[in-house]
A and B are shown apart, each in its own frame.
Chain A
Amino acid sequence: MFKQASWDEPVVFNLGRKGRRGHLPPKTENEVTQTVDDISKLLPTNMRRKNPPMLPELSEVEAVRHFVRLSEMNYGVDSGLYPLGSCTMKYSPKINEQLAALPLLGTLNPYQEESTIQGILEILYKLERWLAEITGIHEVCLHPAAGAHGELLGALIMRAYYKQKGEGEKRTEIIVPDSAHGTNPASAAMAGFNVVVVPSDDEGCVSLGALKAAVSEKTAGLMLTNPNTLGLFEKNIDEIARTIHAAGGLLYYDGANLNPLLCKARPGDMGFDIVHVNIHKTFSTPHGGGGPGAGPVGVSKELTQFLPVPRVTFDGKNYHLNYDRPNSIGKIRGFYGNTAVLLRAYAYILSLGREGLAEVAEVSVLNANYLMKKLKGIKGLELPYNGARPRKHECVISAKPLKTETGVSALNIAKRLLDYGFHSPTIYFPLIVEEAMMIEPTETFEKEELDRFAETMKRICAEAYATPDTVLKAPHNTAIGRLDEVKASHPKTMTLSWRMHQKKIKQKP
């Protein structure tokens, strides 16, 4: 059985001792200090820092030990199956890490003269072309730092498009299905749109009737994830696209679930006008505990004029950064994107090639369906929506029967899975499934690991019937037991920094 390291590791402020140093910055040369005035003259008194920052004081080895111990109390894809649905937690090839860590990239400033950055511009330019080809769309912009950032850009492009058409005032609504990721409505709202939610039908797909009722002359667009968060391909995609386009709206593709379609089918061909791609999902770049990712956005020909500046262009000989784009929405961040992340994707595509990418898609679908088959027979679990239809990259299982019969919920199963050395699936999402467990195994786990996972799920459900307390009180084998998340967010006990912690200690009688 799994047993995670459980160090009693103090917060860094409680380590070290006054005067210890972990790193010495280069010293200023004597000639330099002799040439210029003393710092007390260079910096006016009223702008000088009075008290040094209360940072910890550790030696290098203490710092290393601290962070190594903490890393041992963490779990990544390299540790084992991490089947978070819609997150595509696949293995990140190590060569890509080595390439991204090269000083040849790290030392590049974004404002260098074009003649000194031809290599990196070539990489970005080619990656844009490849992503355009993969998504079947006209042009791609690599700037967005994450999927949600891409969604925001997409929604801003919609705004600019309608403004140019003189329909800016009229097109106020963006439609999202009730199975959509939370970022979709949040991004639409940030871009100033009202959000209209359409329900799913009995099959788990967008209800055509509801969609037709929701569409009007106010409709700016529909944000759609396909395959959706139930892992189902939106079979009526044709009719959906026709409906939106007939109303003068734009179709937005949330690329969180692009993995199963790689080199198998393309959103651009299905009529999507704007597409974002999650580089940190589909193209294997590591999630880093939450980021950095990258969320390039592709658009149809008509919309390219609105993309942020600068665009990377190629004149047949040299690469350039072109800022002369009068209709551009401007910028959504500094510089040109999360280049170190994008470079890894470039290497990933090269390693796999077109056939390899198609195989990625196929195996991810095969794995998801295999796991679904293994799980749906387990007592206490059920498969909502048409069980006969194949899923794509993920499946959603409901623990509702188990909850009713034993009191053990999806949350408890999730916690118990940790005890067996698996990360848990996404739970309670999509919102339309009660006690949902959204499972995406990805292509990078072999049959034996999937079998172990299915076996473990079976064992946990059996435990729920026999010894429910074991599951209800899980996890037992992780670095720490179940945390009080209510206390963490309660205004009275909320502690968001070491400073707040010190303040709270002092306040206590």
Chain B
Amino acid sequence: MRELGIKNIDELYADVPEKYRLRKPLKLPEAMSEFEVKRHVESLLSKNRSCDGMPVFLGAGCWPHYVPAVVKEIVQRSELLTAYTPYQPEISQGMLQILFEYQSMICELANMEVSNCSMYDWASALGEAARMATRKTGRNEILIPKIIHPERAATLQAYTKPAGITINRITYDKESGQICLDDLKKKISHKTAAVYIENPSYFGFIESQVDEISNITHGHNSLLVAGVDPTSLGILKPPGDYGADIVIGEAQPLGNAMNFGGPLLGIMACKDDMNLIRQMPGRIIGLTTTQDGSRQGFCMTLQTREQHIRREKATSNICSNEALCAVASAVYMTLLGPEGFRELGETVMYRANYAMRRLSKLRGIRTPVFNSPHFKEFTVNFDKTGLSVKQVSEKLLQRNVHGGKDLSEEFPEFGQTALYCVTEIHSKEEISRLVEALSEILEER
């Protein structure tokens, strides 16, 4: 203050009109000591119940998977944690190389050539992919499956409406849940920018007609956009194998805790096609050399797509992304390797199918609703039990088990159906607890 020749910091606010200066204290809490803050927050969080204390069979876009200790350790390295976007690459090689490795490993999993270094989440990645496809093709319609996460569909709607994009839905086969190819053929046209499919679907089953869908889509010069759960890709055919042009998905399960739904980590990858790459949203890290050519290094690339350069003509407004979540995923993918992804995929699939098998033996319970192969989530129908999903869930909770997600309002056509999720963290004992609890509930009815 002496240096500035002022007596009071208020002098530095002299240009703020007096009527806007706050002279009364705001209704905010009094300061607490570190210990008090810790005790307060912990006591609030302790009011919650979670899969830390009971088996929880919920996923639906935010899945419980084990986060290895190494991942937690690396993301707390303060050089990574407290850095900004790597605008100065020479002092940010660590973050840049890890993000490049993240992009590269996502490409390996999905069998694609290019990936950006993160989107906010799967839902917003879908919105961005739709806009990307319409820019690339000059068309304005997107076809999506009828069975899709309602929040993802709503986000797609919000992202695409202002751009004048029409979203149409393809029906499903009543028995298998698979995309109805006849309906797809009927709806696809020269206006269709992209066909979007999910694998596994929101209901957890595997869409097996991917090659046919790809052929129909490309036959109309439309783009195929595939949404994936990357934990399946150690065993499931990757979208690159069936000709997907753009791949999106949710990489939260690769080393990121659920955290009540955020932060998440949106995947965005595409083919090595300059016309697609130029339309890609978000930051992309590239491999380059020093100016003297002596060493390999990394920096942000193709920034002329981005808002800080292109402003209103940018491919997207995204700036801050989910870089640290991508770091977590890079570490996770490194730790697992190809064999780990195969084992993870198999364990999840075995356990989920085991749970389905056991549950389907209970009287009145039908699972899965569709006769297709299922990966880690599956539908459970309670219509014949005379109980609603809500009632079942309440009774389960009394037995310290948390049931699946209620689908009865989102998809009333399936009656009292819930979406259950089983991953590698659900042991045989936990699955048995669910089966026993449900069996008890059904008996006492």
Contact = CB atoms under 8 A, between A and B. Distances in A.
A488 B94 contact: no
Contacts of B151: 331, 334-335
Interface string B358-374: 10000000000000010
Contacts of B75: 288
B79 A72 contact: yes
A28 B346 contact: yes
Contact of A107 (B52, B238, B334): B52
Interface stretch (B136-144, B188-196, B218-226, B423-431): B423-431
A131 B426 CA distance: 39
Nearest to B348: A25
Contacts of B332: 23
Q: How large is the interface on B (under 10, 10 to 19, 20 to 34, 35 or more residues)?
A: 35 or more
5 A-B pairs with least C-beta separation: A335-B261, A353-B31, A288-B324, A192-B162, A106-B257
21 contacts: A43-B236, A56-B334, A76-B78, A103-B50, A104-B50, A108-B258, A110-B260, A112-B58, A182-B310, A182-B314, A189-B317, A295-B320, A334-B62, A334-B121, A343-B41, A351-B32, A353-B30, A481-B295, A496-B284, A497-B103, A500-B272
Contacts of A64: 70, 73-74
Contact of A424 (B42, B50, B86, B88): B88
A414 to B, nearest CB: 7
Given A289-B327, A483-B89, 10 more contacts: A26-B66, A73-B97, A82-B82, A111-B405, A193-B162, A334-B123, A335-B151, A353-B28, A354-B29, A390-B14
Contacts of A159: 162
A189 B20 contact: no
B428 A32 contact: yes
A111 B337 contact: no
Given A63-B331, A76-B81, A119 B289 contact: no
Contact of A330 (B56, B158, B163, B351): B158
A295 B318 CA distance: 12
Contacts of A187: 317
A152 B159 CA distance: 9
Given A25-B424, A66-B334, A335 B37 contact: no
Interface stretch (B300-308, B379-387, B437-445): B300-308
Nearest to B356: A36
A418 B308 contact: no
B13 A288 contact: no
Contacts, number: 690
Contacts of B177: none
A87 to B, nearest CB: 6
A349 interface: yes
B268 interface: no
Contacts of A235: 15, 17
Contacts of A79: 78-79, 82
B415 interface: no
B262 A489 contact: no
B322 A145 contact: yes
A104 B42 contact: yes
B38 A21 contact: no
A507 interface: no
Given A333-B121, A482-B291, A182 B311 contact: yes
Given A133-B26, A484-B291, A72 B94 contact: yes
Given A76-B82, A483-B299, A22 B312 contact: no
Contact of A101 (B76, B283, B331): B76
A74 interface: yes
Contacts of A329: 158
A291 B88 contact: no
